[in-house]
Amino acid sequence: MNSPGRYSTPAVLLHWLVALLIFVAFPLGVYMHELPLSPDKLKLYSYHKWIGITVLMLMGIRIAWRLTHTPPPLPRDLASWQKRLGALVHGLLYVLMIAIPLSGWLMSSAKGFPTVWFGVLPLPDLVAKNRELGDLLTEVHEILNFVLLASIILHVIGALQHHFIERRPFLQRMAWGGKENA
Amino acid sequence: MKHNLTLAALLAALAAPAVHAIEYATVVPKQSSIGFEFRQMGVPIKGGFKRFVTDMRFDPEKPEAARARIEIDLASIDAGSPEADEESAGKLWFNRSTYPKAVFVASQVRAIGNNRYEMRGTLTLKGKSREMAIPVTYQPGKNNAAAFDGGFILKRLDFGIGEGMWADVATVANEVKVNFRIAATGN
């Protein structure tokens, strides 16, 4: 049967905040790296890095919250392959949302550009300057991002499919208002 | 007479260390370095120059007679990344095709105590010359070797380094911390 529950308000807030940040940082990353060197390019790189580190920090909170709060139950009649696929995509998204900003931070360190969050909080360099490692991490960062894009597409298709094609009230799980899962 | 000769020999022996006071004049390029650090969007970026030629004469007892000339090959820059190295050659930065070198010529050196000296001189960069006073620490080592460590803050816009769109100091700071070590041997 249909589950009327939804995720707790902090979980919903964190989900959409991280979604918004990814929605900004992803195209920014694609756009900025092709630009010729200019002050604007340096600014965009900094904004991208600040957003990425913010996502990493929010993910710390998200994971802590997720581990201490039970999500609303899935509809009981959902096919088990759908449950498994959903869990797999969610797991992958969590891994990527940690691995991507981390790979960006590492790559920045390897290229000899420390990260100073919002120009205020200097983060430690996790690796020493190393051109080859920097180039390798750039590849890793890029590949992970395309896996992320594919995972997000699957995630969105899954949610919309449950809601509109299977006609289960599904989108309210990640919305405000309505009954929260206790 | 004999007595006087002995006295003269004794005086000469006592005076010998002063007469043979060490003068550093042979620079050891491999142990010498010029580095800099600047801030870009609040982020510290390190760089340096790999090739430079130093001519110097320095006797710690006679700083007023010291001479120094440092000529830096700007093409040997490490500006933090290959992209920045390339960018730095352009007209807005060093305009390297017209001004391939930076030259510092010391005009006066005076002791300020504790093996520290103030070196005054002229830095010429991108066709502009500025007087500067640079504190230098003299560190005598073994086998007549010594290191001279100095540092100063260079304001890049004083020399037109980073013009046009790069003149915005909110992106690339005006202050560039320069530090150097000149290793030399004397006799």
Whether residues A39 and B80 touch (CB distance < 8 A) is answered with: no
Single-letter code of the amino acid located at A76: R
- Encoded tokens for B79: 């500006």
Within 8 A by CB and 6+ apart from A49, the residues are A104, A105, A108, A115, A117
Q: What is the nearest CA distance from A126 to chain B, expressed in angstroms? A: 15
Q: Is A51 exposed, middle or buried (0-12, 13-18, 19+ CB in 10 A)?
A: buried
Question: Which residues 85-124 on chain A approach chain B with CB closer than 8 angstroms?
Answer: 111-116, 119-120
Whether residues A112 and B42 touch (CB distance < 8 A) is answered with: no
Single-letter code of the amino acid located at B62: K
Q: What is the nearest CA distance from A29 to chain B, expressed in angstroms? A: 17
Contacts of B173 in chain A (CB under 8 A): none
Say which of B46, B81, B165 has its CB closest to residue A39. B165
Contacts of B81 in chain A (CB under 8 A): 111-113
**HSE of B72 in the Cβ direction (CA atoms, 13 Å)?**
23
Q: What pLDDT is stored for residue B1 in this prediction?
A: 52
User: Looking at chain A, which residue has its C-alpha nearest residue B38?
Assistant: A113
Q: What is the nearest CA distance from A59 to chain B, expressed in angstroms? A: 24
Of the residues B39, B43, B92, the best mutation for testing chain A's interface (the one with the most A CB atoms within 10 Å of its CB) is B43
Q: What pLDDT is stored for residue A167 in this prediction?
A: 85
Contacts of B162 in chain A (CB under 8 A): none
- Encoded tokens for A169: 């009230």
CA–CA separation, A19 and B140 (whole Å) = 61
Q: What is the block-wise mean pLDDT of chain B (187 residues), using blocks of 10 residues?
A: 61 52 92 97 95 95 94 97 95 97 96 94 97 96 94 97 96 97 93
Q: pTM of the prediction?
A: 0.84
Quick: pLDDT tens for A6-17. Answer: 999 999 999 999
Q: What is the nearest CA distance from A45 to chain B, expressed in angstroms? A: 9
Whether residues B172 and A43 touch (CB distance < 8 A) is answered with: no
- CB proximity A38 to B under 8 Å: yes
Let me know: does A128 contact A113? Beta carbons within 8 Å.
no
**Which residues does chain A have with pLDDT short of 70?**
1-4, 178-182
* Phi, psi dihedrals of residue A83, rounded to the nearest 5°: -60, -45
Chain centre distance of CA A152: 9
Contacts of B45 in chain A (CB under 8 A): 112-113
User: Looking at chain B, which residue has its C-alpha nearest residue A130?
Assistant: B81
Quick: pLDDT tens for A55-89. Answer: 999 999 999 999 999 999 888 888 899 999 999 99
- State chain A's mean pLDDT as an integer: 92
Whether residues A116 and B43 touch (CB distance < 8 A) is answered with: yes
Q: What pLDDT is stored for residue A2 in this prediction?
A: 38
- Encoded tokens for B96: 């390297």
Q: What pLDDT is stored for residue B14 in this prediction?
A: 55
- What is the ipTM, given to two decimal places? 0.79
CB atoms under 10 Å from CB of A170, counted, come to 20
Say which of A38, A39, A114 has its CB closest to residue B43. A114
Q: What pLDDT is stored for residue B13 in this prediction?
A: 55
Of the residues A46, A120, A138, the best mutation for testing chain B's interface (the one with the most B CB atoms within 10 Å of its CB) is A46
Of the candidates B151, B154, B172, the one whose C-alpha atom is nearest the C-alpha of residue B163 is B172
Counted across chains A and B, CB pairs separated by less than 8 A come out at 39
